[in-house]
Structure 1
């Protein structure tokens, strides 16, 4: 099975995706939290500004010190990455490919056949790349899940490519 997924077709830039590195991506979404309603969307720029501001303020007031919980926080995050189920939004990758004006549909190519959705629906798509900390080797490399959870038990599997037409 190939772990590289191309985005081709009516796009300005053909892109290849490697889902094996998304576990380190800050945009990853814990799907267990997402479908339980516990997930909060975070703006990356806003989060960075908050963390930097808090760090700056603490250094001004207390001086430069490392927080005592930093080591345990890193260990907790590592444990979480190795045991949780993760996905990522597809829209950001489609936008990076810069769809051409004539592109109206996204074709999800799989080993079993193609699935077509309109480009307007791409905002409602999550790409699951990890299940309980493990890559999706048997029927992956990714599964396509709708954000409303309607196909959670029967996602689109064995994805080989994304094509805009």
Structure 2
């Protein structure tokens, strides 16, 4: 993870120093423990490694991941809590999802952990409760107004490496 971050940071230093400066310092072990406790999950080690380099971004200099902000541990919890409240309130009871192979056929699962946010209610999530044929920790899409759920990568490390390779 550190190698990929090093490549991305070098590219940002030359091409978008404001976005580099917008990245938060590393999450502490206590921050990660608190996040896992409140989410009720154990986060994948590759994602924890990412947060230990940069705990998301402040959100004042544009989007790190194409058209989406990289969420800090605090923002992950905030975005997850919005979805959890809607879920617990029954808002998704009649919603139909079109899930790809290996993804639960539900509108939202409490074990889908958002790590990006596009400003319109859409996320990329870590799927910690995949369906048969899926892998815990796979990266999936989550749209607020569309039930299509697709896998973007088998793991956060794979997704991040592909992002860095396309960017730099």
Could you say whether these structures have the same fold, taking a TM-score greater than 0.5 normalized by the shorter chain as the test?
A: no
| Structure whose alpha-carbon radius of gyration is higher | 1
Of the two structures, which has the highest relative contact order with CA contacts closer than 8 Å and spacing of 6 or more? 1
TM-score by length of 1: 0.31
Larger helix percent: 2
TM-score by length of 2: 0.30
